Amino acid sequence: MAAVQVLLLAISAVLAVGLLIVGVLYLYLRAPALEADEVQHDEIMRREPSPEVAECNRLIVESQENLRRLQPVQRIQQARIAMDTGFRGRDIDYEQQGIEYREFAVGHLRGEWVLAENSDPDERLLYLHGGAFVAGSHLSHRPITATLARVSGCAVLVVDYRLMPEHKRLSGISDAQLSYRWLLENGPEGAVEASRIFIAGDSAGGNLTLMLAAWCRDQQLRPADAIIGICPSTDSTLLNPSIRSNRATDLLLGSVLAALVSIPKPVYLISSWLVLRRRPNDPIVSPLLGDLRNLPPTLLQASQCEMLLDDSLRYASRARQVGSDVTLQLWPGLPHVWHIFVPSLPEAREAMERIGEFIQAARGRST
């Protein structure tokens, strides 16, 4: 009997120590609690979504259903194929619309230049695509990058940064940093210093974009003239309230992030730490949680019904509190990164036009 009691006490002690370690790690890895006064809305671009949104939603749901039929090991590869071929057939021949694509290859970096008829080779825009760090490429985002080249008048460089799980998350970060350094001194016509430079990205690419803005400041590199985050992921701890409150209304991320959202928070944070090789609250993977002072003028666009809504709201609020210039534009009832449906979706055209206007305003500030 005494031996059994000793064994039970030992087991209880081990469990208590284990729970204590998990609790300490949770406090170490989590983001600061979201305070209600941090969340503030900005410019609402429309009162109601356009009728064309229904067709976009149908295509998203269809693509998600096709992925769910596959085994988990097949889903990443199929998602990459689906993104590169698009949610819909390419009903616009972008090359016939005056867009030129040039292959980009420097060292291990690959991608493409996207040039419109009005693109200035000395004014450059680095575009970092989305895809949850596991999918996406220069092909998947051509509707966005071709439109960006037109509305911005810049030479757009799209880099295929290294993806997980074949590579570490930090490899993609390193590729983004290397691409920016290279772009400062090189354009589509050769080694010429950029007269102006911009950074833009969506979702996971938005995370890299905002990371770069702070990294350039810390490295004392020439800052971008403006930053554009399209539905960016800013907090890798996934603890912002809209991650859960908007799960039912986010047709794209609702299924993609469903498994992650259902994992107990301490388990998710510890698992993320092991996978990322960085604390999920480290600013290198969670730009929201870093120093947001002295950043370039920044435009954020987000949907009010997407799971990453608070990632934009909170970033804008915290950056403004320390004096950085952030413009936040919100649209109702739209899917995550609705911009991919340009030109058929009116809201996508509007959002891209707003980006063009923001870049033009940044030019005025830098002259």
Tell me how far apart the alpha carbons of residues 17 and 20 are, in angstroms, rounded to a whole number. 5
Cβ(318)–Cβ(347) under 8 Å? no
* Choice among 21-25, 148-152, 161-165 with the minimum mean pLDDT: 21-25
Cβ(61)–Cβ(305) under 8 Å? no
Angle formed by the axes of helices 2-29 and 265-276, nearest 10° = 70
Tell me how far apart the alpha carbons of residues 121 and 124 are, in angstroms, rounded to a whole number. 7
* Choice among 97-101, 262-266, 302-306 with the minimum mean pLDDT: 262-266
**pLDDT recorded at residue 33:** 53
> Please, which residues bridge with residue 105 across strands?
110
Query: Per residue in 260-281, pLDDT tens?
Result: 777 888 787 788 778 777 889 9
Residue 120: DSSP 8-state: E
Tell me how far apart the alpha carbons of residues 239 and 248 are, in angstroms, rounded to a whole number. 17
Known catalytic residues?
203, 306, 336
Query: Per residue in 309-337, pLDDT tens?
Result: 999 999 999 999 999 999 999 999 999 99
How far is residue 43 from each of residues 233, 302, 314, measured CA to CA in Å? 20, 11, 15
Tell me how far apart the alpha carbons of residues 172 and 189 are, in angstroms, rounded to a whole number. 26
> Mind listing the domains of the chain with CATH numbers?
100-366 (3.40.50.1820)
Cβ(208)–Cβ(201) under 8 Å? yes
Query: Per residue in 43-72, pLDDT tens?
Result: 677 678 999 999 999 999 998 888 888 887
pLDDT of residue 9 exceeding 60, the answer is no
Widest distance between CA atoms in the chain: 86
**pLDDT recorded at residue 72:** 76
**pLDDT recorded at residue 19:** 36
DSSP alpha helix (H) spans, the chain: 2-29, 53-68, 72-85, 142-152, 169-185, 204-218, 242-245, 253-256, 258-262, 265-276, 309-321, 346-366
Tell me how far apart the alpha carbons of residues 333 and 327 are, in angstroms, rounded to a whole number. 20
User: Chain centroid to CA 107: how far?
Assistant: 25
* Choice among 10-14, 175-179, 324-328, 346-350 with the minimum mean pLDDT: 10-14
**pLDDT recorded at residue 270:** 83
